[in-house]
């Protein structure tokens, strides 16, 4: 097997003892949620990611109505390496048919996920988008059920995910220390919104591993712009469009700048990026390598920050994202 990519940093994930690659493989696109992905492309992208040093793969039964888990499972099997060589997280509580954070459903959920992933255990099981459920149910019922799964060896660590940052403090303040190991936040550590920064001291004080997803703000920070359903305001969309055009005029890509911005905070263990092709994997790893070698393009970054300044940290209410 080819050697791992020399420049892809491994970072400590909270108190778990795991070391995750700075770039994580977001497998939601393998569920064909952004357009069709063949099994061949899905497997090839997972294999290339691992070859280039990505060791962290994240999925959910919600993505593509279980298709993402199945595709990722096939890709991981094709690696043909010891299970300890890679880290897998999946989720529970959010499904194509709706939300269910009951102990009974999440307990059944992990068995279904393990079968699709063709694994004996996952490293992390996250409660998925908990703001749509009852946070008190998550505290009193879901997390205790996940602790039983941890004792049974089906999962190693427990996480929670969602959009509003206050859900993390609400739950973490109400569960016994050590109940939750990891949080997954999205769209709050990118050039247009860095509000996750305010939460980092609190999370570090609790020794929580920090995963940040969607450095491109669900497509806002790309040349082609966000999907139709994106919940951002018209002002935010148009500012991001102007920033992308500015980069293009300089012969730069806003998506690379955005990924490098997110990767440059070492307190964040891994930045999850959705990928569904070998080309995307190579571009993302190359962006990380370039950052490690040359640092950020501070000039273009400050110009883009100036364009985005009027809409900085403008978020949107949680909505059930279209798939």
Q: Is 63 a catalytic residue?
A: yes
Catalytic residue among 5, 62, 63, 186: 63
Phi, psi angle pair for 94, to nearest 5°: -125, 125
Give the integer Cα–Cα distance in Å for 214 and 203. Answer: 19
Q: Do 159 and 181 form a contact (C-beta atoms < 8 A)? A: yes
Give the integer Cα–Cα distance in Å for 90 and 62. Answer: 10
Count CA atoms within 13 Å of residue 93 on its CB side.
26
Q: Which residues are identified as catalytic?
A: 63
């Amino acid at each position: 097997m080819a050697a791992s990519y020399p420049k892809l940093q491994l970072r400590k994930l909270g108190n778990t003892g795991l070391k995750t690659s700075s770039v994580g493989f977001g497998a939601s696109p393998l569920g064909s949620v952004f357009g069709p992905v063949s099994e061949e492309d899905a497997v090839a992208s997972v294999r290339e990611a691992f070859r280039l040093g990505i060791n962290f793969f994240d999925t959910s039964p919600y993505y593509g109505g279980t298709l993402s888990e199945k595709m990722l499972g096939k890709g991981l099997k094709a690696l043909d390496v010891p299970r300890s060589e890679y880290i897998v997280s999946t989720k529970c509580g959010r499904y194509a048919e709706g939300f269910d954070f009951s102990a009974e459903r999440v307990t059944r959920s992990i068995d279904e996920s393990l079968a699709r992933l063709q694994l004996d255990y996952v490293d992390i099981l996250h409660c998925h988008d908990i703001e749509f459920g009852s946070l008190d149910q998550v505290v009193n019922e879901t997390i205790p059920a996940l602790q039983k799964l941890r004792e049974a060896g089906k999962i190693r660590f427990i996480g929670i995910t969602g959009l509003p940052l206050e859900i993390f403090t609400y739950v973490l303040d109400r569960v016994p220390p050590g109940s939750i190991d990891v949080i997954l936040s999205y769209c709050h550590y990118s050039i247009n919104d860095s509000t996750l920064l305010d939460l980092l001291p609190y999370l570090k004080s609790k020794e929580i591993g920090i995963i940040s997803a969607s450095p491109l703000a669900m497509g806002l920070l790309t040349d082609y712009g966000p999907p139709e359903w994106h919940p951002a305001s018209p002002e935010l969309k148009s500012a991001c469009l102007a920033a992308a055009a500015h980069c293009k005029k300089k012969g730069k890509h806003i998506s690379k700048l955005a990924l490098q911005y997110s990767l440059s905070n070492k307190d964040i263990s891994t930045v999850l990026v959705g990928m569904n092709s070998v080309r995307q994997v190579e571009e993302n790893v190359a962006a990380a390598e370039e950052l490690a070698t040359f640092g950020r393009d501070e000039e273009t970054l400050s110009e883009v920050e100036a364009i985005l300044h009027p809409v900085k940290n403008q978020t949107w209410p949680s909505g059930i994202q279209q798939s």
